[in-house]
């Protein structure tokens, strides 16, 4: 196996030597943005969409990445190529860079760009076969007027606390509400329900990340003739749903069979989920930016 090489600001470092300054504002203040991307079969999935979201997040924070989006895409492809991987998990991190102690970004002359390429640790197959149990977290998603969850920033503390709440309950994911008690998403996944045959997912403005897997699933669902709606729903709409499932780059699509102790339908992954999951699998294997040609 080739040694893992990590890109930092124009150089490739072996894993043990890859580090940034303790004065980096990404570390000191969570001042930065990131993306989690996958490669399947030698192709990077939705590279353009991930880079676009990265630049959107950076723009919101007035963070100048310092290279163009096209250069960033090239750097990501090159980083995977150097690691000689065909299936990979790619973490792109852009921080405000090294500066003084003090939150003022003006002390940081240049952003730090990090590209980590690694293999992905897949979820146990039983999650996909049997479905997950989830609970609603007492930790709310950030207010859209405070730190909009559309921004994939290095501030994930609400989600981390929510995740820990799930872990304490022995669960892998948790539902997160917004401050008005509407369902927003999960700690690192978006959520879908099937309600009277209609596929529904919360509006992004309720406080969710605009997941690239979410958007892909919505597109696949529409193309297969399903009615798809962005909507508002509460926990109680989930309890009554015919199907519930989650989407994300790492998880892909994973069924949910129990929510806050309520069994979803017959407690088994539903037919619409299974159909979309199969179509998503097909989709990821036939789309993407080629790494080696």
Among 58, 85, 188, 257, binds ligand PXG (CB under 6 A): 188
Judge contact between 111 and 66, C-beta under 8 A: yes
Minimum CB separation from ligand PXG for residue 248, in Å? 4
What is the C-alpha to C-alpha distance for residues 5 and 80, in angstroms, rounded to an integer? Answer: 9
Compare residues 108 and 220 and give the one whose CB is closer to ligand PXG.
220
With binding defined as CB under 6 A, does residue 249 bind ligand PXG? yes
What is the C-alpha to C-alpha distance for residues 293 and 278, in angstroms, rounded to an integer? Answer: 27
Active site residue 43: no
With binding defined as CB under 6 A, does residue 288 bind ligand PXG? no
Minimum CB separation from ligand PXG for residue 265, in Å? 24
Compare residues 215 and 265 and give the one whose CB is closer to ligand PXG.
215
Contact string 156-185 vs ligand PXG (x = CB under 6 A): ---x-------------------------x
Minimum CB separation from ligand PXG for residue 35, in Å? 8
Among 137, 153, 158, 213, binds ligand PXG (CB under 6 A): 213
Crossing angle of helices 69-82 and 47-60, in 10° steps, is 130
With binding defined as CB under 6 A, does residue 252 bind ligand PXG? no
What is the C-alpha to C-alpha distance for residues 89 and 266, in angstroms, rounded to an integer? Answer: 34
What number of other Cβ atoms are within 10 A of residue 265's Cβ? Answer: 14
Candidates 75-83, 235-243, 246-254, 256-264; binding stretch for ligand PXG (CB under 6 A): 246-254
Distance of CA 37 to the CA centre of its chain: 8
Compare residues 131 and 211 and give the one whose CB is closer to ligand PXG.
211
Residue of 43, 152, 163, 200 with catalytic role: 152
- C-alpha separations of 65 from 45, 89, 95, 128, 276 in Å: 22, 21, 8, 37, 36
Judge contact between 174 and 247, C-beta under 8 A: no
Distance of CA 126 to the CA centre of its chain: 21
- Residues catalogued as catalytic: 152
Which chain residues interact with ligand PXG by CB under 6 A? 36, 159, 185, 188-190, 209, 211-214, 247-250
């Amino acid at each position: 196996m080739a040694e893992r090489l990590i890109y930092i600001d124009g150089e490739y470092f072996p894993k043990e030597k890859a580090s940034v300054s303790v004065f980096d504002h990404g570390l000191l203040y969570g001042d930065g943005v990131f993306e989690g991307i996958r490669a399947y079969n030698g192709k990077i999935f939705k590279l353009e969409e991930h880079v676009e979201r990265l630049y959107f997040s950076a723009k919101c924070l007035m963070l100048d990445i310092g290279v163009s989006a096209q250069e960033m895409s090239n750097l990501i492809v090159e980083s995977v190529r150097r690691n000689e991987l065909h299936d990979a998990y790619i973490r792109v991190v852009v921080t405000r860079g090294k500066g003084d102690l003090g939150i003022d970004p003006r002390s940081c002359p240049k952003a730090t760009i990090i590209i980590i390429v690694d293999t992905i640790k897949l979820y146990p197959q039983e999650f996909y076969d049997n479905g997950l149990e989830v609970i609603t977290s007492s930790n709310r998603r950030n207010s859209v007027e405070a730190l909009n969850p559309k921004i994939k920033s290095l501030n994930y503390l609400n989600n981390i606390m929510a995740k820990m709440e799930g872990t304490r309950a022995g669960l892998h994911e948790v539902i997160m509400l917004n401050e008005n008690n509407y369902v927003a998403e999960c700690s690192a996944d978006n959520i879908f329900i099937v309600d009277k045959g209609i596929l529904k997912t919360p509006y992004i403005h309720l406080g969710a990340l605009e997941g690239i897997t979410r958007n892909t699933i919505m597109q696949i669902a529409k193309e297969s003739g399903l009615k798809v709606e962005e909507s508002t729903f509460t926990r109680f709409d989930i309890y009554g749903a015919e199907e519930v499932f989650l989407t994300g780059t790492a998880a892909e699509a994973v069924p949910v069979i129990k929510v806050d102790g309520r069994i979803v339908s017959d407690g088994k992954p539903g037919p619409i989920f299974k159909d979309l999951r199969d179509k998503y699998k097909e989709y990821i294997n036939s789309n993407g930016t080629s790494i080696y040609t």
